Protein backbone atom coordinates (compact mmCIF):
# COMPACT_ATOMS: atom_id res chain seq x y z
CA UNK A 1 0.00 0.00 0.00
CA UNK A 2 1.02 3.59 -0.57
CA UNK A 3 -0.08 6.50 1.62
CA UNK A 4 -0.03 9.99 0.15
CA UNK A 5 -0.01 12.31 3.15
CA UNK A 6 1.45 15.33 4.88
CA UNK A 7 3.20 14.97 8.23
CA UNK A 8 1.26 17.82 9.86
CA UNK A 9 -2.17 16.86 8.50
CA UNK A 10 -4.30 15.48 11.32
CA UNK A 11 -6.35 13.43 8.84
CA UNK A 12 -3.14 11.85 7.55
CA UNK A 13 -1.97 11.25 11.11
CA UNK A 14 -5.20 9.33 11.83
CA UNK A 15 -4.54 6.90 9.02
CA UNK A 16 -0.88 6.47 9.96
CA UNK A 17 -1.99 5.51 13.48
CA UNK A 18 -4.49 2.99 12.13
CA UNK A 19 -1.87 1.42 9.86
CA UNK A 20 0.61 1.17 12.73
CA UNK A 21 -1.97 -0.28 15.11
CA UNK A 22 -2.68 -3.00 12.57
CA UNK A 23 0.99 -3.56 11.82
CA UNK A 24 0.51 -2.93 8.10
CA UNK A 25 3.53 -1.89 6.03
CA UNK A 26 3.08 0.96 3.58
CA UNK A 27 5.07 3.27 1.34
CA UNK A 28 5.16 6.85 2.62
CA UNK A 29 4.52 9.44 -0.11
CA UNK A 30 4.87 13.04 1.07
CA UNK A 31 2.51 15.71 -0.27
CA UNK A 32 3.57 19.09 1.15
CA UNK A 33 0.40 21.14 1.56
CA UNK A 34 2.09 24.44 2.45
CA UNK A 35 4.20 24.21 -0.72
CA UNK A 36 1.07 23.52 -2.78
CA UNK A 37 2.08 20.03 -3.88
CA UNK A 38 -1.52 18.87 -3.52
CA UNK A 39 -2.48 21.19 -6.38
CA UNK A 40 0.03 19.82 -8.88
CA UNK A 41 -0.96 17.59 -11.78
CA UNK A 42 1.04 14.68 -10.38
CA UNK A 43 -1.17 14.48 -7.29
CA UNK A 44 -4.34 15.33 -9.20
CA UNK A 45 -3.86 12.05 -11.05
CA UNK A 46 -4.10 10.29 -7.68
CA UNK A 47 -6.68 12.47 -5.92
CA UNK A 48 -9.32 14.43 -7.85
CA UNK A 49 -10.15 16.38 -4.67
CA UNK A 50 -6.55 17.39 -4.02
CA UNK A 51 -6.91 16.44 -0.37
CA UNK A 52 -4.79 14.23 1.85
CA UNK A 53 -4.60 11.46 2.77
CA UNK A 54 -5.06 9.09 -0.15
CA UNK A 55 -4.34 5.41 0.36
CA UNK A 56 -3.55 3.39 -2.76
CA UNK A 57 -4.31 -0.25 -2.05
CA UNK A 58 -2.29 -3.26 -3.18
CA UNK A 59 -4.78 -3.68 -6.03
CA UNK A 60 -4.29 -0.08 -7.16
CA UNK A 61 -7.53 1.40 -5.85
CA UNK A 62 -7.22 4.95 -4.49
CA UNK A 63 -9.17 5.57 -1.29
CA UNK A 64 -9.80 9.05 0.09
CA UNK A 65 -11.18 10.54 3.33
CA UNK A 66 -9.46 9.36 6.49
CA UNK A 67 -12.55 7.97 8.17
CA UNK A 68 -13.48 5.89 5.13
CA UNK A 69 -9.90 4.63 4.87
CA UNK A 70 -9.80 3.60 8.54
CA UNK A 71 -13.12 1.76 8.27
CA UNK A 72 -11.90 0.01 5.09
CA UNK A 73 -8.76 -1.06 6.92
CA UNK A 74 -10.87 -2.40 9.77
CA UNK A 75 -13.11 -4.34 7.41
CA UNK A 76 -10.29 -5.85 5.35
CA UNK A 77 -7.68 -6.27 8.11
CA UNK A 78 -9.89 -6.89 11.15
CA UNK A 79 -7.16 -7.53 13.74
CA UNK A 80 -6.78 -5.73 15.99
CA UNK A 81 -10.25 -4.15 15.62
CA UNK A 82 -10.60 -0.37 15.68
CA UNK A 83 -14.37 -0.55 16.05
CA UNK A 84 -16.24 -2.66 18.60
CA UNK A 85 -18.08 -5.69 17.30
CA UNK A 86 -21.44 -4.76 18.84
CA UNK A 87 -23.61 -2.19 16.99
CA UNK A 88 -24.02 0.08 20.04
CA UNK A 89 -20.28 0.16 20.66
CA UNK A 90 -19.58 0.94 17.01
CA UNK A 91 -22.07 3.80 17.10
CA UNK A 92 -20.45 5.27 20.21
CA UNK A 93 -16.93 5.07 18.77
CA UNK A 94 -18.10 6.58 15.49
CA UNK A 95 -19.77 9.41 17.40
CA UNK A 96 -16.57 10.18 19.32
CA UNK A 97 -14.57 10.01 16.10
CA UNK A 98 -16.92 12.31 14.24
CA UNK A 99 -16.92 14.79 17.10
CA UNK A 100 -13.29 15.36 16.16
CA UNK A 101 -13.37 14.76 12.41
CA UNK A 102 -16.65 16.54 11.62
CA UNK A 103 -17.04 19.18 14.35
CA UNK A 104 -13.50 20.40 15.15
CA UNK A 105 -11.25 19.59 12.22
CA UNK A 106 -13.18 21.25 9.33
CA UNK A 107 -13.13 24.63 11.10
CA UNK A 108 -9.35 24.53 11.47
CA UNK A 109 -8.34 22.92 8.20
CA UNK A 110 -5.37 24.59 6.48
CA UNK A 111 -7.45 25.89 3.59
CA UNK A 112 -9.92 27.48 6.03
CA UNK A 113 -7.10 29.18 7.93
CA UNK A 114 -5.62 30.44 4.66
CA UNK A 115 -8.99 31.88 3.65
CA UNK A 116 -9.28 33.68 6.98
CA UNK A 117 -5.87 35.30 6.45
CA UNK A 118 -5.77 35.91 2.71
CA UNK A 119 -9.39 36.72 1.88
CA UNK A 120 -10.81 38.05 5.15
CA UNK A 121 -7.56 39.72 6.23
CA UNK A 122 -7.65 38.21 9.71
CA UNK A 123 -4.52 38.91 11.77
CA UNK A 124 -2.31 36.01 12.84
CA UNK A 125 -3.25 36.12 16.52
CA UNK A 126 -6.95 36.41 15.71
CA UNK A 127 -6.58 33.35 13.48
CA UNK A 128 -4.94 31.48 16.35
CA UNK A 129 -7.73 32.59 18.68
CA UNK A 130 -10.20 31.09 16.19
CA UNK A 131 -8.22 27.85 16.15
CA UNK A 132 -7.94 27.62 19.92
CA UNK A 133 -11.63 28.40 20.43
CA UNK A 134 -12.91 25.60 18.21
CA UNK A 135 -10.38 23.02 19.40
CA UNK A 136 -11.12 23.79 23.05
CA UNK A 137 -14.89 23.82 22.51
CA UNK A 138 -14.68 20.45 20.79
CA UNK A 139 -12.42 18.88 23.40
CA UNK A 140 -14.76 20.04 26.16
CA UNK A 141 -17.58 18.25 24.34
CA UNK A 142 -15.37 15.17 24.01
CA UNK A 143 -14.72 15.26 27.75
CA UNK A 144 -18.46 15.39 28.45
CA UNK A 145 -19.00 12.39 26.18
CA UNK A 146 -16.26 10.41 27.93
CA UNK A 147 -17.84 11.24 31.28
CA UNK A 148 -20.96 9.34 30.16
CA UNK A 149 -18.94 6.20 29.44
CA UNK A 150 -17.42 3.69 31.88
CA UNK A 151 -13.87 4.48 33.02
CA UNK A 152 -11.36 2.98 30.60
CA UNK A 153 -7.76 3.32 29.51
CA UNK A 154 -8.63 4.59 26.03
CA UNK A 155 -11.59 6.52 24.69
CA UNK A 156 -13.79 3.43 24.52
CA UNK A 157 -12.49 0.40 26.35
CA UNK A 158 -8.98 -0.73 27.15
CA UNK A 159 -7.67 -1.02 23.59
CA UNK A 160 -7.28 1.78 21.03
CA UNK A 161 -10.16 2.49 18.66
CA UNK A 162 -10.85 4.80 15.74
CA UNK A 163 -11.79 7.48 18.28
CA UNK A 164 -8.22 7.51 19.60
CA UNK A 165 -6.90 7.70 16.02
CA UNK A 166 -8.84 10.98 15.75
CA UNK A 167 -8.23 12.40 19.22
CA UNK A 168 -4.43 12.26 19.30
CA UNK A 169 -3.80 14.24 16.07
CA UNK A 170 -6.28 16.90 17.18
CA UNK A 171 -4.46 17.43 20.45
CA UNK A 172 -1.12 17.56 18.61
CA UNK A 173 -2.42 20.31 16.36
CA UNK A 174 -4.09 22.12 19.24
CA UNK A 175 -0.76 22.30 20.99
CA UNK A 176 0.75 24.14 18.04
CA UNK A 177 -1.35 27.18 19.02
CA UNK A 178 -1.21 26.58 22.80
CA UNK A 179 -4.78 25.37 23.23
CA UNK A 180 -5.51 25.05 26.99
CA UNK A 181 -5.73 21.46 28.22
CA UNK A 182 -6.80 22.07 31.82
CA UNK A 183 -10.12 20.70 33.02
CA UNK A 184 -10.04 17.73 30.60
CA UNK A 185 -8.97 14.89 32.93
CA UNK A 186 -10.48 11.94 31.03
CA UNK A 187 -9.46 13.27 27.63
CA UNK A 188 -5.87 13.97 28.58
CA UNK A 189 -5.54 10.65 30.42
CA UNK A 190 -6.58 8.92 27.20
CA UNK A 191 -4.10 11.00 25.20
CA UNK A 192 -1.27 10.10 27.59
CA UNK A 193 -2.17 6.40 27.41
CA UNK A 194 -2.13 6.59 23.62
CA UNK A 195 1.27 8.23 23.55
CA UNK A 196 2.70 5.35 25.59
CA UNK A 197 1.62 2.97 22.81
CA UNK A 198 4.30 2.22 20.17
CA UNK A 199 1.88 2.64 17.25
CA UNK A 200 1.07 6.23 18.19
CA UNK A 201 4.76 6.98 18.67
CA UNK A 202 5.66 5.62 15.23
CA UNK A 203 2.85 7.54 13.54
CA UNK A 204 3.50 10.96 15.07
CA UNK A 205 4.71 13.82 12.86
CA UNK A 206 8.28 13.84 14.20
CA UNK A 207 8.67 10.24 13.02
CA UNK A 208 7.71 11.12 9.43
CA UNK A 209 10.43 11.35 6.76
CA UNK A 210 9.19 14.80 5.66
CA UNK A 211 9.01 16.20 9.21
CA UNK A 212 9.89 19.89 9.59
CA UNK A 213 10.04 21.68 12.92
Report whether pLDDT(201) > 90. Answer: yes
Residue spans of the domains in the chain: they are: 2-80, 87-200
Q: Mean pLDDT in the chain? A: 95
Q: pLDDT tens for residues 56-107?
A: 999 999 999 999 999 999 999 999 999 999 999 999 999 999 999 999 999 9
- What is the dotted CATH code of the domain comprising 2-80? 3.40.30.10
Q: Which are the contacts of 199, defined by CB distance < 8 A and separation ≥ 6?
A: 17, 20, 21, 160
Percentage above 90 pLDDT, the chain:
90
Query: 2-80 with 87-200: one CATH topology?
Result: no
In angstroms, the Cα distances linking 184 to 118, 153, 159 are 34, 15, 20
pLDDT of the residue at 212:
86
Would you tell me which CATH number, out of the four given (3.40.50.720, 2.40.30.20, 1.20.1050.10, 1.10.1660.10), belongs to the domain 87-200? 1.20.1050.10
Reduced 3-state DSSP string for the chain: CEEEECCCCHHHHHHHHHHHHCCCCCEEEECCCCCCHHHCHHHHCCCCCCCCCEEECCCCCEEECHHHHHHHHHHHCCCCCCCCCCHHHHHHHHHHHHHHHHHHHHHHCHHHHHHHHHCCCCCHHHHHHHHHHHHHHHHHHHHHHHHCCCCCCCCCCCCCCHHHHHHHHHHHHHHCCCCCCCCCHHHHHHHHHHHCCHHHHHHCHHHCCCCCC
Q: pLDDT tens for residues 103-151?
A: 999 999 888 998 998 999 999 999 999 999 999 999 999 999 999 999 9
pLDDT of the residue at 110:
86
- Of the candidates 49, 53, 30, 29, the one whose C-alpha atom is nearest the C-alpha of residue 39 is 49
- Contact (Cβ atoms closer than 8 angstroms) between residue 15 and residue 5: yes
Amino acid sequence: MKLFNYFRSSASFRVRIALELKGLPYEYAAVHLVKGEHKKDEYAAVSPTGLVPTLVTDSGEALEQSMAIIEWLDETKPQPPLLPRDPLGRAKVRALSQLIACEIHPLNNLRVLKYLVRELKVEEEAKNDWYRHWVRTGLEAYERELARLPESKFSYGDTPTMADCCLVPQIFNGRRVNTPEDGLPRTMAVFNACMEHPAFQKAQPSSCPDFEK
